[in-house]
Chain A
Amino acid sequence: MSEYLIETKDLTKVFGKFKAVNNVSMHVEKGAIYGFIGKNGAGKTTFMKMICGLSTQTSGSITLFGKSGAGLAEVRRKIGCLIESPGIYPKLNAFDNLKMKGLAMGCYDKKKAEEMLELVGLSHTGKKKSGEFSLGMKQRLGIAMALTGDPEMMVLDEPINGLDPQGIVEVRDTISRLATERGITILISSHILGELSRIATHYGIINQGQLIKELSSDALQAECTARLELRVDNVQIATERLAAANIAHTVVGPEHIHITSNVEYSGEINRDLVNHGVLVKELAVRGQDLEEYYLKLTGGVSNA
Chain B
Amino acid sequence: MLDILRMDLFRMRKMRAFFVTLIVASLLMAISTFTEKLMRDAYKKLIEEDGDTAAVQELEEDEDAEALLNEDPEVEDMSKPYVDQIYASYISGMFPALMIVIFTVLFVNADHVSGFIKSIGGQVRHRWHIVVSKIICILLYTLIMLLFLLCLQTVLNLVFFGEVSFNDTGKLITYIMLGFLMNGAFAMMAAAITIFTRSNLIGLLVSILDALGMFNLIAMLVNLLLGKADIKFDLNKYMLSYCINQVHYGSTFSSASHELIVAGCFFAVCMAGSLFIFKKKDIA
Residues of A within 8 A of B (CB): 49, 52-56, 73-74, 76-77, 79, 81, 83-92, 96-97, 99-101, 103-106, 145-146, 149
Task: Report Cα–Cα, A147/B4, bound state, in Å.
Answer: 18
Task: Report Cα–Cα, A278/B64, bound state, in Å.
Answer: 125
List 20 additional A-B contacts (Cβ < 8 Å) besides A96-B14, A145-B119: A49-B282, A49-B284, A54-B282, A73-B124, A74-B125, A76-B122, A77-B125, A79-B122, A81-B118, A83-B284, A84-B115, A85-B115, A87-B116, A87-B118, A88-B115, A89-B116, A91-B16, A99-B10, A103-B10, A105-B120
Q: In the assembled complex, which residues on chain B have CB atoms less than 8 Å from the CB atom of A91?
A: 14, 16
Q: In the assembled complex, which residues on chain A have CB atoms less than 8 Å from the CB atom of B117?
A: 87
A-B contact number at CB 8 A? 87
Q: Does B3 count as interface, using CB distance less than 8 angstroms?
A: yes
Task: Report Cα–Cα, A79/B121, bound state, in Å.
Answer: 12
Q: In the assembled complex, which residues on chain A have CB atoms less than 8 Å from the CB atom of B254?
A: none
A103 and B6 contacting across the interface, CB-CB below 8 Å: yes
Nearest Cβ in chain A — how far from B123, in angstroms?
5
Nearest Cβ in chain B — how far from A206, in angstroms?
19
A54 and B283 contacting across the interface, CB-CB below 8 Å: yes
Total interface residues on B, CB under 8 Å, equals 26
Q: In the assembled complex, which residues on chain B have CB atoms less than 8 Å from the CB atom of A89?
A: 11, 14, 110, 114, 116
B3 and A83 contacting across the interface, CB-CB below 8 Å: no
B123 and A77 contacting across the interface, CB-CB below 8 Å: yes
Q: In the assembled complex, which residues on chain B have CB atoms less than 8 Å from the CB atom of A85?
A: 115
Residues of B within 8 A of A (CB): 2-4, 6-7, 10-11, 14, 16, 110, 114-126, 282-284
Nearest Cβ in chain B — how far from A132, in angstroms?
14
Q: In the assembled complex, which residues on chain A have CB atoms less than 8 Å from the CB atom of B125?
A: 73-74, 77
Nearest Cβ in chain B — how far from A110, in angstroms?
13
Nearest Cβ in chain A — how far from B72, in angstroms?
48
Task: Report Cα–Cα, A85/B284, bound state, in Å.
Answer: 11
Q: List 20 A-B contacts (CB under 8 A).
A: A49-B282, A52-B122, A53-B283, A54-B118, A55-B283, A73-B124, A73-B126, A74-B125, A76-B123, A81-B122, A87-B116, A87-B119, A89-B14, A89-B116, A90-B114, A97-B116, A100-B116, A104-B119, A104-B124, A106-B3
Nearest Cβ in chain B — how far from A91, in angstroms?
7
B118 and A84 contacting across the interface, CB-CB below 8 Å: yes
B116 and A105 contacting across the interface, CB-CB below 8 Å: no
Give the interface centre of A79, A101, A104 by most chain B CB atoms within 10 Å.
A104
Question: Per a CB cutoff under 8 Å, which of A54, A106, A149 touches B121?
Answer: A54
Question: Per a CB cutoff under 8 Å, which of A54, A99, A145 touches B284?
Answer: A54
Identity of the chain A residue whose Cβ is nearest the Cβ of B282 in the assembled complex: A55
B3 and A105 contacting across the interface, CB-CB below 8 Å: yes
Nearest Cβ in chain B — how far from A299, in angstroms?
31
Identity of the chain B residue whose Cβ is nearest the Cβ of A77 in the assembled complex: B123
Question: Per a CB cutoff under 8 Å, which of A73, A76, A96, A146 touches B119?
Answer: A146
Given known pairs A100-B11, A104-B3, A104-B4, the reply for A53 and B122 (CB within 8 Å) is yes
B7 and A100 contacting across the interface, CB-CB below 8 Å: yes
Task: Report Cα–Cα, A107/B30, bound state, in Å.
Answer: 43
A103 and B122 contacting across the interface, CB-CB below 8 Å: no
Identity of the chain A residue whose Cβ is nearest the Cβ of B119 in the assembled complex: A87
B10 and A100 contacting across the interface, CB-CB below 8 Å: yes
Given known pairs A96-B14, A103-B10, A105-B3, the reply for A54 and B110 (CB within 8 Å) is no
Nearest Cβ in chain A — how far from B53, in angstroms?
57
A92 and B119 contacting across the interface, CB-CB below 8 Å: no
Question: Per a CB cutoff under 8 Å, which of A86, A96, A101, A104 touches B115?
Answer: A86
